[in-house]
Chain A
């Protein structure tokens, strides 16, 4: 398991792409074991926010894990601190095998030199995704979308995260696979891992999350859940 407890503090984070302001202001904090959904329409800064927390894009403001500031644009530091992202569209390594894709999730934390030994350390993720056991030697590019998503989740688990961020994990997946993903989320929540879930479809997210935050035009706010529930009614 991760060495950090999973407390995340985000203070006045902003993300700019040149002149375009993707996130103008985001501040929130997560206690260890929290399960928070970030909802909002497409193109309003949700992905930019989580990508900046993961160190993939430059940000301003401060991010702290267990009180320790996280440097900006440093994914290695984020993973080392226990903050792991399952990105939108997965970004697996298409030419590598399923085994290697999962194994590389532990790259930052492993001290092993040989890949086989490092794999032995993370092979327990197959208990959660037994269907991947038969696909270990298959190239990731040849998997179905649902199988690829499972590999992406397994890769995140291999990193032994304290905080796991998921960006639209059900994008493009069949209903049955989406259900599987949500079952996994519930299982992870039970292990007291802190979860930050970005979802464009709020209905499913709010069924599993403890609370929600809303991103609208780059600004984060706490939605009025009563009004929100009314809007979601057919």
Chain B
């Protein structure tokens, strides 16, 4: 029983990763119909950037986090102004594969390259914000940083759901992705929504990276690997519902942990990816993607 509960705890912690990324991807896709393939790289910048500021430059923890998050937000703002503004706001938006994937794909590659120059290829971890022994709850142990990660996932997913569901601003953000012209007719500034939600999700992903890196350690290659499952989590939420993306992410994490724990560690990922692949192909309605196709 304790093995099962420990696997549950580990699965929730890793699933929180996918969930937060899925929520970030979902809300931004909902606003502008673009997949943010750089979300994992923002998390990497959060974890690695904070670690380097503390370990190499001796910046105190609190300031390191603030500076790092500010830097990530600024990078997101600059990217929006330099690239997305020209791509989408100047009356010549290219629809389809180029706009959906490739602008943020290029950003992802550029961030990885820049991070390699700035941070090197070493594995690093930011200090945990909640140190101490693992918590013993019921029959299982859970590391304190993992609790923070899960809490962030639940809080952010809930907050984003509440925003979209109950506020006028959330409705307006959704309208931007539904009909750009319709949004403009109502006086909704879609460029502003796109920009600020991009910055918000970048900072959220970076914050997540700060909390997650003490658990697994980050390198410059960490971001893209884990963000793909975030894309899958977002896909299972139809790229529309951030709360559902968090739930799906947690479930994917649980499935991954249980398969690795009870079936096979080495082939656990293979089984998981195969299962996800099968669901996507044989039950695309689960993704709610037919409306987008």
Q: Which residues of A contact B (CB under 8 A)?
A: 54-56, 75-76, 78-80, 84-85, 87, 90-96, 100, 103-105, 107-108, 110, 112-116, 118, 155, 159
Contacts and interface: CB of A to CB of B under 8 A. Distances in A.
B185 interface: yes
Contacts of B186: 75, 79, 104-105, 107-108, 155, 159
B189 A76 contact: yes
A222 to B, nearest CB: 28
B182 A95 contact: no
Contact of A104 (B175, B181, B189): B175
B153 to A, nearest CB: 25
B281 interface: no
Given A76-B187, A96-B175, A107-B187, A116 B166 contact: yes
List the 6 closest pairs (A to B, CB-CB), nearest first.
A79-B187, A93-B178, A91-B182, A108-B187, A76-B187, A91-B181
A54 B185 contact: yes
A110 B178 contact: no
A103 B168 CA distance: 8
Contacts of A92: 179, 182
A95 B291 contact: yes
B3 interface: no
Nearest to B192: A76
Nearest to A89: B181
B168 A96 contact: no
B176 to A, nearest CB: 9
A105 B168 CA distance: 11
Interface residues of B, number: 22
B187 A93 contact: no
A104 B182 CA distance: 10
B189 A95 contact: no
Contact of A80 (B171, B183, B187, B188): B187
B26 interface: no
B168 A114 contact: yes
A91 B185 contact: yes
Contact of B188 (A55, A87, A95, A107): A107
A104 B167 contact: no
B167 A114 contact: yes
Given A87-B182, A100-B171, A115-B167, 12 more contacts: A85-B185, A93-B183, A95-B240, A95-B291, A96-B175, A100-B175, A104-B183, A105-B186, A107-B168, A114-B166, A116-B166, A159-B187
A87 B185 contact: yes
Contacts of B170: 115
B184 interface: yes
B181 to A, nearest CB: 5
A54 B187 CA distance: 10
A100 B170 CA distance: 11
Interface string B176-204: 00110111111111000000000000000
A118 B168 contact: yes
B227 interface: no
A76 B181 CA distance: 12
23 contacts: A56-B184, A75-B185, A75-B187, A76-B187, A79-B186, A80-B187, A84-B185, A91-B182, A92-B182, A93-B179, A93-B182, A95-B174, A96-B171, A96-B178, A103-B168, A104-B172, A104-B186, A104-B188, A107-B168, A107-B172, A110-B168, A114-B168, A115-B170
A22 B167 CA distance: 39
A113 B166 CA distance: 9
A58 B166 CA distance: 34
A56 B167 contact: no
Contacts of A107: 168, 172, 186-188
Contacts of B167: 113-115
Interface string B214-252: 000000000000000000000000001000000000000
Residue among B169, B179, B185 facing the most chain A CB atoms (10 A cut-off):
B185
A109 to B, nearest CB: 9
Contacts of A108: 186-187
Residue among B179, B186, B291 facing the most chain A CB atoms (10 A cut-off):
B186
Contacts of B240: 95
A118 B168 CA distance: 7
A104 B188 CA distance: 9
A131 B187 CA distance: 26
Contacts of B291: 95
Contacts of A110: 168
Given A104-B171, A107-B168, A94 B184 contact: no
Given A91-B179, A92-B179, A113 B187 contact: no
